[in-house]
């Protein structure tokens, strides 16, 4: 068997096991170390032996996150065409930095970007960058925002830096994801510039809160960060009201739409994010709800010049793509894999209708899991999914909150995998459904596993 055949056989074995393998991995760290040498060998191993050993080492530590019963954090699986394209990308080993280093990487990325904007119903002339994940999408889009708000104040941040720059204020939804903070740190803005905004319905920013915050420093360069889908309840801000308000005050509006932006791809759910297309920049993920393999985030920016100004550089040995877009003009990376291709594959495999159907199906499954589990004694519904995220609290007969113990017991059963969170000060179990392959049977198995876990603990 040649090395690639071994890899394919291992990949197929894993995929075929998803229905019956425990969703939570059961191996110890030692189980994972055992098949491999303890020290770097002086002499290399045969390639086939390396692949077999790594497969054996990984096996006890693999979760079933590519399957249909993994509802922790916010994780999708990988659609067949996206997975297969990802494998081809590794074989092709293209450097999708410039059109000249990989014409295929550059041209197909352009198509992926155009299809992405179309699917998400965002301005067709917006710029885009395919980056590692939503974390780096924030960094990329907020670098464009930093450029634009400082340029309006007469400051060239790429040349002059931040040390003596006018202070930027960042007015952000109080329920923002931690990746926003980290993006601000990486961009040298720090977290002290953050002003948390709330005041609306759960997880949402009110018009009054934004109005007051904008008025507090009307002349300061300002970035407003809103949510399309918060991590706990999938709350989406009222973009139609908030975007024009912020923009009239000269602010740049950035949207964290890691998963929730995909609601805009569904005619049934688009109302939840009405007006989101009015923002100035958006960050989202392919590896969450579009179900590409990992290493797929997208930064999208209305102001193409600001995006390019924040990222672009030239060097004597780099050749311009001319009529073909050079990915590097928009990305923070230099060398990079052709990571837009699996996204292109997912977009083509599903098409507009298929994307909408997948997003809606996940939301329906999230509601069905919530309804099934909250019918059990000891389970209290905290948030019935309006999108694909829900919250449930579990109580013992004594009234003690046993949410974490129930999560551990469900996960230990191997039947399903959930994660916890804290909402309004109490521990809860989160339900997050993003997988293209979650089925009604997966929902039923997961509800049954919760029933067994809860009965054993009450």
Ligand X SMILES: Cc1ncc(COP(=O)(O)O)c(C=O)c1O
Query: Please, what is the minimum distance in Å from the beta carbon of residue 234 to ligand X?
Result: 9
Name the residue nearer to ligand X (CB basis): 68 or 297. Answer: 297
Q: Which is nearer to ligand X, 150 or 231 (CB)?
A: 231
Residue whose entry in the numeric block shows the structure tokens 């291709």: 341
- Write down the least CB distance from residue 297 to ligand X, Å: 5
Whichever of 74 and 366 has its CB closer to ligand X, that residue is 74
DSSP H helices in 93-189: 103-119, 134-152, 157-160, 178-186
d(CA 74, CA 435): 9
| Residue 177 C-beta: closest distance to ligand X, Å | 3
- Which of 256/277 has CB closer to ligand X? 256
Closer residue to ligand X in complex, CB, 85/135: 135
Render the burial of 308-343: b for 16+ CB within 10 Å, e for the rest. ebbbeeeeeeeeebeeebbbbbbbbbeebbbbbbbb
CB of 97 to ligand X, least distance (A): 21
Nearest alpha carbon to residue 257 among 233, 281, 286, 227: 227
CB of 288 to ligand X, least distance (A): 7
Least distance between ligand X and beta carbon 400 (Å): 29
**Torsions phi, psi for 305 (to 5 deg):** -65, -40
CB neighbours of 141 closer than 8 A, spacing ≥ 6? Answer: 254, 281, 282, 283, 299, 300, 301, 307
Angle between helices 304-311 and 134-152 (to 10 degrees): 110
- Least distance to ligand X from the beta carbon of 430, Å? 11
Nearest to 229 by CA among 194, 261, 197, 207: 261
Cβ pair 142, 188 in contact under 8 A: no
* Whole-angstrom distance, CA of residue 89 vs CA of residue 342: 8
Residues 64, 70, 76, 81, CA torsion sign: positive
- The nearer residue to ligand X, 139 or 379, going by C-beta atoms, is 139
- For residue 71, the minimal CB distance to ligand X (Å) is 13
Neighbours of 206 (CB within 10 A): 17
Closest separation in Å from C-beta 405 to ligand X: 24
Q: Tell me the CA distances in angstroms from 397 to 181, 377, 392, 452, 454, one per residue in order.
A: 40, 9, 16, 15, 11
Name the residue nearer to ligand X (CB basis): 59 or 256.
256
* Nearest distance in Å: CB 152, ligand X: 27
CA dist 357 → 135, 214, 265, 362, 452 (Å): 27, 39, 9, 9, 31
Distance CA 36, CA 56 (A): 9
Nearer to ligand X, 379 or 434 (CB): 434
* 105 vs 133, beta carbon nearer ligand X: 133
CB of 156 to ligand X, least distance (A): 29
**Residue whose C-alpha is closest to residue 73's, from 358, 453, 429:** 429
Q: Tokens in use for 374?
A: 């909250």
Helix-helix angle 134-152:178-186, to 10 degrees: 50
Tokens of 126: 């917006």
Q: Which residues of the shown chain bind ligand X in the complex (CB under 6 A)?
A: 73-74, 133-135, 177, 179, 231, 256, 258, 285, 297
Closer by beta carbon to ligand X, 378 or else 421: 421
CB-nearer residue toward ligand X: 74 or 382? 74
The residue sitting closest to ligand X, measured at its beta carbon, is 133
Q: How far apart are the first and last CA of the chain?
A: 53
CA 452/CA 430 separation, integer angstroms: 18
């Amino acid at each position: 068997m040649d090395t690639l055949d071994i890899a394919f056989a291992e990949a197929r074995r894993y995929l075929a096991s998803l229905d019956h393998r425990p969703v939570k991995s059961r191996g110890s760290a030692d189980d994972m170390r055992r098949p491999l040498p303890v020290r770097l060998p002086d002499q290399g191993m045969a390639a086939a032996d390396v692949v077999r050993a790594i497969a054996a080492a990984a096996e006890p530590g693999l979760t079933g996150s590519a399957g249909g019963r993994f509802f922790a954090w916010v994780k999708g699986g990988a659609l067949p065409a996206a997975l297969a394209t990802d494998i081809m990308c590794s074989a092709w080993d293209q450097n999708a930095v410039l059109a000249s280093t990989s014409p295929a990487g550059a041209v197909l990325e352009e198509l992926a970007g155009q299809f992405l904007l179309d699917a998400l119903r965002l301005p067709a002339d917006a710029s885009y960058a395919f980056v590692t994940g939503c974390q780096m999408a924030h960094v990329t889009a907020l670098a464009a925002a930093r450029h634009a708000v400082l340029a309006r104040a007469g400051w060239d941040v790429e040349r002059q830096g931040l040390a003596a720059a006018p202070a930027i204020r960042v007015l952000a939804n109080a329920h923002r994801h931690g990746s926003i903070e980290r993006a601000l740190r990486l961009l040298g803005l720090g977290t002290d510039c953050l002003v948390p905004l709330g005041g609306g319905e759960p997880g949402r920013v009110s018009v009054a809160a934004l109005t007051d915050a904008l008025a507090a420093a009307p002349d300061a360069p300002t970035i407003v960060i809103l949510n399309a889908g918060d991590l706990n309840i999938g709350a989406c801000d009222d973009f139609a009201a908030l975007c024009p308000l912020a923009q009239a005050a000269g602010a740049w509006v950035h949207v964290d739409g890691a998963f929730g932006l995909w609601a805009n791809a569904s005619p049934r759910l688009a109302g939840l994010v009405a007006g989101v297309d009015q923002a100035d920049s958006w960050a989202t993920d392919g590896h969450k709800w579009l179900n590409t393999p990992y290493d797929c985030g997208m930064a999208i920016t209305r102001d193409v010049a600001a995006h390019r100004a924040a990222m672009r550089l030239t060097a004597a040995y780099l050749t311009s793509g001319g009529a073909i877009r050079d990915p590097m003009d928009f990305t923070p990376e230099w060398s990079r894999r052709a990571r837009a291709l699996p996204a292109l594959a997912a977009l083509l495999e599903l098409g507009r209708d298929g994307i909408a159907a997948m997003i809606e199906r996940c939301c329906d499954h999230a509601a069905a899991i919530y309804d099934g589990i909250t019918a059990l004694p000891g389970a209290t519904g905290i948030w019935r999914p309006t999108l694909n995220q829900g919250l449930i609290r579990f109580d013992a007969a004594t009234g003690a909150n046993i949410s974490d113990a129930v999560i551990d017991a469900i996960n230990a059963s191997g039947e399903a995998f959930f994660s916890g969170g804290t909402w309004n000060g109490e521990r809860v179990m989160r339900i997050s459904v993003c997988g293209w392959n979650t089925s009604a049977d997966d929902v039923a198995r997961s509800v049954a596993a919760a029933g067994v876990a809860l009965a054993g603990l009450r």
